[in-house]
């Protein structure tokens, strides 16, 4: 396979990077919309020649063929010889996707129906604890992909969360984590969701043992525990009767639309959860069918490639301008950095170009009073995604967002006093959501999932394994540091 930096488009882009002069365009050519999300990339350091070459690079990397390979279930996770089918989790019921000569969609639909039954029963106070009292609190025990997505989702859609139930998360192995969450809960009315793809995650199993002792009614075990795992046999051996499967073709960080998100389904109801799936599926279809010049995930990915590989900017700041997205950055950190934090290509060889960016950020109005000064006059190279909601256009929060974009891209205070000089010239994407709804949330998740996939294709790395993560897990297991 031809090396990435030997491709014709790559060589063109290297030349453009040396000669490009920053210009600021507000033309409609830099506005792309789909599924209630508009991308304004007028703040990026690109022109038509650069964009054409980035599209050429995508074509030289056979991006279209790689998209089709992922969607139809080919084993594109080459190091683990697995398909990558998180998109199947939100596919319609009549879709056919074959894995090992078996249509996987009926299994997915069965799990969806089970989630509907469980969530409805708990919301209707029909799921009873060991003393006959209805469940009042649901606790998700999981870490990484088994926590970050559900935690983000349930807080993002807090206005839709049922107010007669409490929802809680236990993730890290801090000695006080379990006791602090359960201090004000009643064992009689608490349900634990034990989420672990492998069902061997040390932190999760440790907290499960604490939960088992805290409930202290083993004969009523299944009234208080639900397992969500790809290792169904292991869960059965541990005594679980209510088990919602996920599958080895869904990576933990890509499990947002799976049963891993059961706690959100309970919290907002199955109807709203289905809207998340519909929004994600709509973005999937846009990604598969739209020309690259108008394809939101592809454009977002290629702009990132330009910044990282040709402008040498390895920081991606994500600032959100709604409290609904305040937990988006931690979720995105795992999604992106665990996927594309790689320096070995798909053929097992060391690469000599940059890959995944460092993701950081948070609420934009908080940035104004913490690290915004560094953005304006600091010495580090940074690119940024600003995410706002159009329904706030008349509010101060969106006026602040526009002001941030203006200063970061164009600078300000160009007077004689050098202390007041702000250069600007930070490459900025502005992502505007028409509204914040379950459907738009699903589309936003799908957008970034596919952006990361596209970058992995161009960099010729496997975005779907995580050997660095597995290495430390194995040391913990070998030394029995967590019982």
Q: Which residues are catalytic?
A: 338, 369, 473
Structure tokens at 194: 């034990």
Structure tokens at 363: 């609420």
Rounded-to-integer distance, Cα 323 and Cα 84, Å: 32
Please list the residues that pair with 428 across neighbouring strands: 43, 384
Cα distances (Å, whole numbers) of residue 82 to 79, 111, 300, 455: 8, 21, 26, 19
Beta strands in 416-477 (DSSP E): 428-433
Q: Are 281 and 86 in contact (CB under 8 A)?
A: no
Rounded-to-integer distance, Cα 442 and Cα 285, Å: 13
| Count of Cβ atoms closer than 10 Å to residue 1 Cβ | 10
Structure tokens at 282: 């709509």
Number of residues that make up the chain: 483
The per-residue DSSP string of 21-63 comes to -------GGGEEEETTEEEEEEESS--HHHHHHHHHHHHHTTH
Structure tokens at 212: 């088992």
Q: Are 187 and 214 in contact (CB under 8 A)?
A: yes
Rounded-to-integer distance, Cα 355 and Cα 351, Å: 9
Rounded-to-integer distance, Cα 257 and Cα 247, Å: 12
Rounded-to-integer distance, Cα 114 and Cα 262, Å: 10
- Which sign, positive or negative, has the C-alpha torsion 203, 208, 209, 210? positive
């Amino acid at each position: 396979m031809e090396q990435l930096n030997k491709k014709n488009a790559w060589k063109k882009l290297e030349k453009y990077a040396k000669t490009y002069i920053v210009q600021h365009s507000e033309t409609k050519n830099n506005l792309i919309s789909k599924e209630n999300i508009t991308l304004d990339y007028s703040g990026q350091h690109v022109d038509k020649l650069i964009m054409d070459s980035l599209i050429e690079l995508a074509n030289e990397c056979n991006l279209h063929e790689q998209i089709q390979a992922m969607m139809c279930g080919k084993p594109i996770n080459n190091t683990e010889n697995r398909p990558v089918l998180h998109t199947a989790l939100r596919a319609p019921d009549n879709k056919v996707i074959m894995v090992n000569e078996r249509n996987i969609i009926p299994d997915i639909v069965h799990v969806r129906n089970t989630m509907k039954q469980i969530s409805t029963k708990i919301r209707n106070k029909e799921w009873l604890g060991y003393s006959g009292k209805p469940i009042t609190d649901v606790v998700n025990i999981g870490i990484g992909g088994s926590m970050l997505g559900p935690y983000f989702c349930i807080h993002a859609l807090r206005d839709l969360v049922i107010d007669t139930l409490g929802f809680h998360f236990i993730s890290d192995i801090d000695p006080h984590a379990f006791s602090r969450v359960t201090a004000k809960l009643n064992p009689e009315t608490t349900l634990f969701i034990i989420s672990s793809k492998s069902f061997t995650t040390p932190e999760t199993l440790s907290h499960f043992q604490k939960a088992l002792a805290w409930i202290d009614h083993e004969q009523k075990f299944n009234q208080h525990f639900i397992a969500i795992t790809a290792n169904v046999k292991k869960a059965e051996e541990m005594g679980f009767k209510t088990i919602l499967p996920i599958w080895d073709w869904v990576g933990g960080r890509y499990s947002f639309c799976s049963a891993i998100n059961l706690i959100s389904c309970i919290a907002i109801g199955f109807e709203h959860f289905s809207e998340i799936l519909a929004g994600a599926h709509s973005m999937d279809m846009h990604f598969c069918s739209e020309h690259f010049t108008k394809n939101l995930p592809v454009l977002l990915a290629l702009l990132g490639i330009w910044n990282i590989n040709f402008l040498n900017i390895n920081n991606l700041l994500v600032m959100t301008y709604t409290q609904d997205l305040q937990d988006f950055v931690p979720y995105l950190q795992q999604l992106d950095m665990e996927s594309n934090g790689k320096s070995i290509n798909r053929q097992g060889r060391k690469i000599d170009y940059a890959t995944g960016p460092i993701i950081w950020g948070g609420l934009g109005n908080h940035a104004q009073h913490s690290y915004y000064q560094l953005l304006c006059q600091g010495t580090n190279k940074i690119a940024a995604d600003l995410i706002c909601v159009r329904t706030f256009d008349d509010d101060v929060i969106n006026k602040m967002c526009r002001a941030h974009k203006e200063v970061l891209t164009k600078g300000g205070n160009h007077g004689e006093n050098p202390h007041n000089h702000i250069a600007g010239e930070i490459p900025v994407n502005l992502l505007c959501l028409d509204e914040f709804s379950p459907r738009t949330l699903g589309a936003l998740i799908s957008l970034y999932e596919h952006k990361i996939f596209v970058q992995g294709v161009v960099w010729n790395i496997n975005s779907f394994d995580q050997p660095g993560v597995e290495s430390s897990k194995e040391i913990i297991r070998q030394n029995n540091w967590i019982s």
